[in-house]
């Protein structure tokens, strides 16, 4: 249950618990909390476990330069580390950090890994059951893997043909289309979850994880079928907040393993990444003729510049330019051996 917030005392005495409490009081996502705490730990360890209040701008600059030079981290990672330390000093400790002279490296523009339609079909042919349905849903809706795994039964709206994403990246809700071809498979998956949930209740379990506010507002919702995860784990485990045994959603590593196996079995020589199905969704919509604004809304991008990256990878062979070697046609001379 890596995406479930661990419990902390209401009046914590440990420094990192106090930091976590401040992050939560500002309504930041749990993933942000995990990332900020990670970089603050790294910062403290780099300076021989000295307390951050005894350190200043020069120590922050030294650590960020270490991240940049010695650890050779990407520009994006450097920016995240900087954001974590800015939050630590400005928002948590109330200290000024405006005089930092550190300048993060410029971010390199990298094209996303996109599978062709033929490659998507080949990958899917190597999958079956729930694993295939999950990959089909990522490719058919543009969901991130974390958004996919967080889906509850109630988020599949057959009436309006929508898939509802709750608290996606940036803690935003959005709706994306429900692929019509996946409806029978989704209905079978829901029936499987209903049977599994009924067995869990019979075995003395059956309560699913709910965020704190929802758990307090709707105390009986945790046992309702509608709130069960669409892709549940095969095992029951302890909730890190309360220790209560629950069935959570499938772990991301289980999905990643299935994707890696399928990509290799399909003979595809591209990185095996769950996020590539989201990239493929956007790219193929763009190739079909859908406008960027529509794709932006479906993906949940706050800035259309993020969506524009897909204009550089659509299947137009170098922006539609004909290579001079292709114009040779039948006139191309045969290759000669080294011996003439």
Catalytic residue list: 144, 169, 275, 278, 301, 310
Per the listing, tokens 């959603």 go with 249
Beta strand spans in 115-202 (E) = 156-157, 162-165, 174-177
Q: Where are the beta strands (DSSP E) in the chain?
A: 156-157, 162-165, 174-177, 232-238, 245-249
Cα–Cα distance for residue pair 284/288, rounded to 1 Å: 6
For the CA atoms of the chain, what is the radius of gyration?
Answer: 24
d(CA 176, CA 136): 14
Alpha helix positions (H), 272-335: 275-288, 292-299, 304-307
Q: Phi, psi (5° rounding) for residue 136?
A: -60, -40
Is the Cβ–Cβ distance between 78 and 105 less than 8 Å?
A: yes
Phi, psi (degrees; rounded to nearest 5) at 152: -105, 165
Strands 232-238, 174-177: pairing is unpaired
d(CA 241, CA 267): 43
The Cα–Cα gap between 318 and 97 comes to: 45
**What is the dihedral sign for C-alpha 269, 272, 278, 281?**
positive
Torsion of the alpha carbons at 15, 16, 17 and 18, rounded to the nearest 10? 50
Report d(CA 269, CA 267) in Å as an integer.
6
């Amino acid at each position: 249950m890596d995406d479930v917030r661990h419990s902390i005392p209401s009046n914590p005495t440990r420094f990192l618990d106090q930091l976590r409490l401040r992050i939560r009081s500002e309504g930041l996502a749990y993933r942000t909390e995990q990332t900020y705490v990670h970089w603050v730990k790294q910062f403290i360890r780099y300076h021989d476990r000295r307390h951050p209040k005894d350190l200043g701008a020069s120590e922050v600059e030294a650590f960020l330069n270490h991240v940049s030079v010695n650890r050779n981290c990407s520009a994006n990672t450097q920016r995240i580390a900087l954001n974590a330390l800015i939050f630590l000093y400005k928002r948590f400790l109330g200290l000024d950090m405006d005089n930092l002279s550190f300048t993060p490296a410029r971010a390199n523009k990298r094209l996303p890994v996109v599978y062709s339609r033929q490659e998507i079909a080949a990958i899917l042919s190597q999958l079956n059951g729930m694993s295939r349905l999950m990959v089909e849903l990522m490719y058919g809706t543009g969901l991130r893997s974390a958004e996919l795994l967080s889906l509850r039964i109630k988020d599949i709206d057959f009436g309006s043909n929508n898939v509802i994403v709750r608290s996606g990246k940036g803690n935003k809700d959005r709706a994306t289309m429900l692929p019509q071809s996946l409806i029978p498979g989704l209905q079978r998956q829901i029936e499987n979850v209903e049977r599994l949930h009924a067995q869990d209740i019979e075995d003395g379990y059956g309560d699913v994880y709910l965020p704190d506010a929802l758990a307090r507002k709707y105390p009986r919702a945790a046992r309702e079928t509608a709130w069960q995860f669409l892709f549940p784990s095969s095992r029951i485990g302890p909730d890190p907040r309360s220790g209560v045994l629950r069935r959570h959603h499938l772990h991301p590593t289980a999905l990643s393993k299935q994707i890696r196996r399928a990509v290799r079995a399909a003979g595809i020589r591209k990185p095996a990444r769950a996020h590539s199905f989201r990239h493929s969704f956007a790219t193929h919509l763009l190739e079909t003729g859908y406008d960027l604004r529509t794709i932006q809304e479906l993906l949940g991008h706050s800035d259309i510049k993020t969506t524009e990256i897909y204009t550089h990878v659509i299947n137009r062979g170098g922006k539609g330019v004909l290579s001079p070697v292709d114009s040779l046609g039948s006139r191309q001379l045969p290759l000669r051996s080294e011996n003439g």
